[in-house]
Structure formats: C-alpha cells, structure tokens
C-alpha cells in the first residue's frame, strides 16, 4: 500500500510543530474506521490507491498531542500545476488557529510536490472552513469555490511573510473598523498606515479593531511628517514619532517602520541612521523608505538594510520603473501606493475583471517583489480588490496592458 503522510500537531493554544509518521496513520485509520475500511468499496478505493501510487493523491491527517485526530486533508493533483484541496475538521480544531496553520503547512508542502496553485470546492464551503481558507490565503472565486496561488507570498526583509496583496488604511475613518476586520478575514496579512493618516487616529483605529493582532498579520506605519505639507526628519522628531506609534498601535516593536518622505533639510544619513539606532534598540524590526530615487535607495543601503520601498506606481504612472527594477534586483519589497486605476482598455470585457482588478493583476505580474496596498472604505470594493489575487493575465494580455 502506498505511504500516506501524517501531520502531527503538538500545540497548546496554537499549532507549533508538524512531524511525519506514516505508520501511525494506518494504525489510527484502522482504529477509527475498522479493518474493512479500504475494502468496503473496492473499486473506488482501488482507484484511490492507484492515484496515490502515481503521486496524484496525498492524504494528510492533523493529530493532537493526545492522539486525537483533528482533521483529515487530501490533495488531488489535477496535473496542470493545480491540486484540489479537500478537508474535514473536528469541531475542536476550529477557533484556535490550528486548522489554519495546518492548511498553510499543506500549502508549503504543495510547493515541494511541484504544484503552483490549489483550489477548494463546495465540500469545504461551510462557514468554519471558509474562514480557515481565507485566513490561509485563499481567495473566494465563486459562491462555493476558493483558489490560492502558492507563490503569492513574499518575505519582507527575508523573514516577514505576507500575502502580496495588502491593504492601505489611509482612507479609513474612525467608523470603518468593519472594513479592516473584513480585510483580515479575507486573508490580508499586510496593512499599511502612517502617522500622517489622521495624525495618529488611523493607527488607533487599527489597534482598537485588530488588537490583539493575529500572529500572521503585519501592520506597518510611517514617520517623518510633522503636519500637512511639512516634512520633519530630524532625529528627535523621528524618535518621538516612533515611540508614539508604538503606544497607539499597542506594540512593543514595529516589525516594519518606513520613512514617509526624505526631508531635504536633514541629511539622509541622519534620518536613516536614526532609524537604524531605533532598530538596534529593539523598537524597529525592519526599515523601509517611501518616495525615493534609485540613488537615495543606494545611499540608504550603505547605512542600513532596507526591507521595503513605497513609491507611487501603477499601470499608467511608471515614473519609478527603475526603482522597481532596483528593488527586484536586491529582493526588496516594493509597495506601490495609488495602485488602483479608474479605467483600463477594453480588456475588462474580455477578461471579466474590473478595471481595478486588472490594474492590480498587472502589478502582481510586473515583478515578484511588488506588494500592492489598495485602500478603500467600502467592503464591496475591498472584496473586489482581494479577488484580483486570483486573476492570472496571459502573456498577451499583460503585453496589451503594458
């Protein structure tokens, strides 16, 4: 009989580790189902075993540290780079992040199987499983269907794992907490804010709505603007703004902190050097820049590792093409602000996508380091934007848009 895989979960409140033990799966399956489990429907199960032997079907089981089975998963390779994901969860596996962590682990393993994407169908479209899929990075593409590009994640600074399609919080008002919650429920793991957005009110909204933060969520903010139209990159101002951001966001450390603008009145070395000092003090994890040139990026990188750059960039505004290319060459995340366009050519009718979705799909295809952060205060627009992650432009379509 072909080997099956067991995912063993040793956890308290959340999943910590996986182990592989094939024999344990068989022992537990016989115990749960009886000795005739694989012979009850001999024709069907022979087909299952044949698919396993060919490597098309892989079973996985999630087991608690006391041996109780919490979930059963299978991946069926459709032989086009995509596999169908099916799973059943025990009630106690939901609500603690265990099932979500298991699905994420399966996504990582699927890459090792040579797969590029996963889809999940109606059999897992109940409320609890839908929530698990969304938190694991799947996009809902139909009433009962979900899809996940296995290569839609990026490691900012080599360690902050986020989905490439994020959310910009700039347009939110104090009553828009439901939009933020919906973004996170849809699987968004990167949220961008700044002191400038409401002079701290935006940061307070995010903390009020999302704290305590999910482990997979990265909230990044920006400093360096003192008041409308006035940049202030003086070291004492940057230090004070970082301390205030930590308080408003209820964080002990800002995993990613970006310099909102380079203050021309203060040497760039002083501004970046101050952020480096704050990083060395443990107040900042990674440092990013915003609205910089290739030359400024290179100068900053001589002082400190730069994890991200946030410049205005979209299909029609490509002034910073050279910055995108420099970021890609260095493995630096590029967060384009104002990524959504009001209109795109007739490709919308051909593709069935909205102009906003096409603009986002173009960005995602432009470079693997691009992490769009579209913002909105409307849940409908948010859902439309997130769904853009499931759009795959053909080479011809990408060239037409370009």
Nearest CA to 373 among 342, 341, 335, 317? 335
The CA R_g of the chain, rounded to the nearest whole Å, is 23
d(C-alpha 261, C-alpha 263), whole Å: 6
**Nearest residue to 384 (alpha-carbon basis) of 162, 209, 129, 165:** 165
CB-neighbour burial class of residue 106 (10 A; exposed 0-12, middle 13-18, buried 19+): buried
The count of residues in the chain is 402
Is residue 197 annotated as a catalytic residue, yes or no? yes
Give the residue among 26, 20, 167 at the shortest CA–CA distance from 105.
20
Exposure string (b/e) for 360-394, b if CB count within 10 Å is 16 or more? bbbbbbbeebbbbbbbbeeeebbebbbbbbbbebe
For tokens 């986002």, name the residue.
360
**CB-CB neighbours of 245 under 10 Å:** 23
Exposed / middle / buried, residue 39 (Cβ in 10 Å: 0-12, 13-18, 19+): exposed
Record the tokens describing residue 32, joined without a space: 């749960």
Choice among 37, 76, 195, 197 that is catalytic: 197
Active site residue ranges: 197
């Amino acid at each position: 009989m072909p080997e099956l895989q067991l995912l063993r979960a040793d956890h308290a409140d959340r999943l910590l580790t996986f182990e592989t033990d094939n024999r344990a799966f068989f022992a537990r399956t016989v115990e749960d189902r009886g000795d005739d489990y694989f012979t009850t429907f001999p024709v069907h199960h022979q087909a299952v075993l044949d698919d396993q032997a060919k490597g098309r079907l892989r079973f996985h089981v999630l087991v608690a540290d006391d041996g109780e089975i919490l979930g059963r998963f299978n991946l069926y390779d459709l032989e086009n780079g995509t596999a169908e994901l099916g799973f059943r969860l025990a009630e106690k596996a939901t609500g603690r992040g265990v099932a979500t962590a298991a699905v994420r682990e399966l996504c990582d393993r699927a890459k090792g199987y040579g797969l590029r994407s996963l889809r999940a169908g109606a059999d897992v479209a109940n409320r609890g499983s839908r929530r698990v899929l969304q938190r694991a990075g799947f996009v809902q593409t139909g009433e009962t269907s979900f899809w996940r590009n296995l290569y839609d994640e990026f490691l900012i600074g080599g360690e902050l794992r986020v989905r490439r399609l994020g959310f910009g919080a700039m347009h939110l008002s104090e009553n828009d907490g439901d939009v933020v919650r919906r973004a996170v429920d849809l699987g968004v793991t990167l949220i961008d804010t700044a002191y400038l957005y409401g002079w701290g009110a935006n940061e307070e909204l995010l903390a009020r709505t999302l704290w305590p933060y999910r482990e997979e969520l990265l909230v990044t903010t920006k400093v360096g603007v003192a008041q409308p139209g006035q940049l202030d990159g003086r070291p004492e101002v940057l230090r004070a703004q970082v301390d205030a951001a930590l308080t408003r966001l209820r964080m002990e450390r800002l995993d990613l902190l970006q310099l909102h603008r380079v203050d021309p009145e203060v040497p760039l070395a002083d501004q970046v050097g101050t952020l480096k000092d704050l990083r060395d003090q443990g107040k900042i994890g990674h440092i990013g820049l915003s609205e910089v040139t290739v030359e400024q990026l290179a100068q900053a990188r001589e002082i400190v590792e730069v994890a991200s750059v946030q410049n205005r960039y979209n299909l029609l505004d490509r002034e910073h093409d050279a910055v995108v290319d420099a970021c890609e060459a260095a493995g630096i995340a590029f967060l384009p602000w104002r990524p959504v366009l009001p209109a795109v050519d007739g490709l919308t009718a051909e593709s069935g996508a909205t102009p906003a979705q096409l603009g986002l799909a173009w960005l995602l295809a432009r470079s693997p380091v691009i992490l769009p952060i579209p913002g909105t205060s409307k849940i409908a627009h948010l859902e439309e934007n997130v769904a853009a992650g499931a759009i795959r432009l053909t080479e011809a379509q990408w060239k037409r848009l370009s």
